[in-house]
């Protein structure tokens, strides 16, 4: 894997029609029970960016906005009121957003985005957050492609545990937040329909312990399982992941999770309970992809409690998520 300071900045726009460069940040403040995630994905060859702002408020409501603002190049992460800035590579970054959000009393209504945006109020939102590194970075760009042609999801990709602090304002309420989360950065060709399904688990247990676990399933073949554990000093790599999921509701959203992440000589057991979930949707060429974003409370075997996200992507076939049987 190649990973250099320059990879924190924008990459040359590739020739692939579906070239995507994206950054994502999540953050949760357990003292105030508020958190969220922010993403910008530049798809300059298709003429637009994907912008997502999502805040899970202490009273159970979710403030959400998605947009596809027009862009003509891949020069910056700056679209639809959201901006990401690299202050010091791998050490300090800034996230800001100024725009509208829809306030959802019932976040599951976002399964029908048109109805959700029509039937719920929209209010102003401001976010100004500074993120600093809590771990070293994991990942990079491999020397040889690792994904089958047509199933590419990112040529380069890395992740990092982070701490974050700043202000969040939704309508007439403002919070001074301080917590922990995870960020990622990827570039290369991407269709959301490329994986058959995936499970992406992120968990922070304070400033010196965190976990990322990933299961990517392909239409054919074994796919991939793995992740990392950061113990405050060393990044321990895992090459196997076992997941058991309990599902809820007629639409089968993930509700609780048991996960075992394994390296050659160690294993880590996680139990997760989804606190709040919002389903997002992407459609292309007749395929429907659901990305369920679950704010999750995690518990380790030793009793430590942490927070993060469980992101479940599934292709939906005959009204059913294809990965429900794992």
Q: pLDDT, tens digit, for every residue of 84-110?
A: 999 999 999 999 999 999 999 999 999
Residue 211 burial (CB count, 10 A): 25
pLDDT for position 322: 98
pLDDT of residue 198: 98
Spatial contact of 30 and 20, defined as CB atoms under 8 Å apart: no
- Mark the ranges of the chain whose per-residue pLDDT is less than 50: none
Residue 153 has what pLDDT? Answer: 82
Task: Write down the pLDDT at residue 148.
Answer: 64
C-alpha 326/C-alpha 316 separation (Å) is 15
d(CA 67, CA 58): 25
pLDDT at position 205 is: 98
Residue 310 to residue 257: CA distance in whole angstroms? 9
pLDDT digits (tens, 9 = 90+) for 113-148: 999 999 999 999 999 999 999 999 999 999 877 666
pLDDT at 147: 65
Q: How many CB atoms lie within 10 A of CB 159?
A: 21
Smallest CA-to-CA distance from 151 within 117, 111, 196, 184 is with 196
């Amino acid at each position: 894997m190649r990973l250099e300071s320059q990879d924190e900045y924008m990459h040359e726009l590739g020739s692939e029609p579906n070239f995507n460069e994206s950054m994502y940040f999540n953050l949760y403040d357990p003292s105030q029970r508020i958190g969220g995630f922010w993403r910008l994905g530049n798809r300059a060859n298709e003429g637009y960016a994907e912008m997502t702002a999502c805040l899970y408020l202490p009273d159970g409501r979710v403030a959400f906005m998605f947009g596809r603002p027009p862009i003509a190049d891949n020069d910056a992460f700056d679209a639809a009121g959201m901006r990401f800035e690299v202050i010091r590579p791998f050490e300090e970054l800034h996230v800001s957003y100024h725009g509208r959000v829809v306030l959802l009393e019932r976040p599951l209504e976002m399964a029908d985005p048109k109805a959700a945006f029509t039937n719920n109020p929209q209010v102003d939102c401001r976010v100004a957050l500074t993120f600093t590194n809590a771990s070293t970075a994991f990942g990079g760009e491999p020397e040889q492609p690792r994904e089958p042609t047509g199933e590419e999801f990112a040529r380069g990709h890395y992740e990092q545990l982070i701490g974050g602090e700043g202000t969040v304002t939704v309508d007439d309420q403002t919070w001074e937040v301080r917590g922990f989360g995870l960020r990622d950065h990827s570039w290369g060709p991407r269709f959301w329909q490329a994986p058959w399904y995936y499970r992406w688990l992120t968990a922070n247990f304070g400033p010196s312990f965190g976990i990322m676990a990933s299961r990517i399933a392909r239409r054919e073949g074994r796919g991939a399982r793995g992740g990392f554990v950061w113990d405050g000093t060393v990044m321990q790599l895992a090459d196997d992941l076992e997941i058991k999921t309990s599902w809820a509701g007629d639409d089968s959203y993930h509700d609780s999770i048991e996960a075992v992440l394994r390296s050659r000589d160690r294993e880590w057991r996680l139990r997760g309970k989804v606190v709040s979930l919002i389903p997002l949707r992407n459609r292309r060429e007749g395929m429907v992809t659901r990305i369920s974003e679950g704010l999750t409370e995690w518990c380790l075997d030793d009793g430590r409690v942490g927070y993060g996200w469980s992101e479940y992507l599934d292709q939906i076939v005959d009204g059913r998520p294809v990965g429900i049987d794992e």
